[in-house]
């Protein structure tokens, strides 16, 4: 096995690896170089609104202050 497999996007030596989940395929490795990794937004397994709802609930249960910023509504929780 290679020490640094090529980036799945550009072919440069990869620095990060992760699992890609797709409904049409089984989970598989996705290797990326530093630049492609930084340029790729994270993916969520649930809709963003549901993720924020769950995050707010967890923060409230832990009694932690939470301030979120979305492109749609700006800062919330201040």
List, for residues 3-35, the tens digit of each pLDDT value: 778 888 888 988 888 887 777 888 888 888 888
**Could you tell me the residue range of the domain that residue 36 belongs to?**
1-42
Averaged pLDDT, 41-58: 84
Are 28 and 1 in a shared domain?
yes
Whether 2 and 22 share a structural domain: yes
36 & 57 share domain: no
Let me know: does 31 contact 9? Beta carbons within 8 Å.
no
Cβ atoms of residues 76 and 52 within 8 Å: no
**Contact present, 30 and 8 (Cβ < 8 Å):** yes
Across-strand partners of 28?
Answer: 20
Same domain? For 26 and 50 the reply is no
pLDDT averaged over every residue in the chain: 81
Structure tokens at 5: 């497999």
Q: What percent of the chain has pLDDT over 90?
A: 13
Domain count, the chain: 2
Q: Supply the pLDDT for residue 7.
A: 87
Same domain membership, residue 54 and residue 27? no
């Amino acid at each position: 096995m290679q020490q640094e497999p090529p980036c799945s996007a550009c072919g440069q030596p990869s620095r990060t690896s992760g699992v890609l989940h797709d409904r049409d395929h089984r989970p598989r490795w996705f290797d990326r170089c530093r630049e492609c990794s930084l340029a790729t937004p994270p993916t969520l397994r649930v809709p963003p609104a549901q993720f924020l709802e769950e995050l707010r609930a967890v923060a409230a249960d832990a009694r932690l202050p939470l301030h979120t910023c979305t492109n749609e509504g700006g800062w919330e929780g201040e």
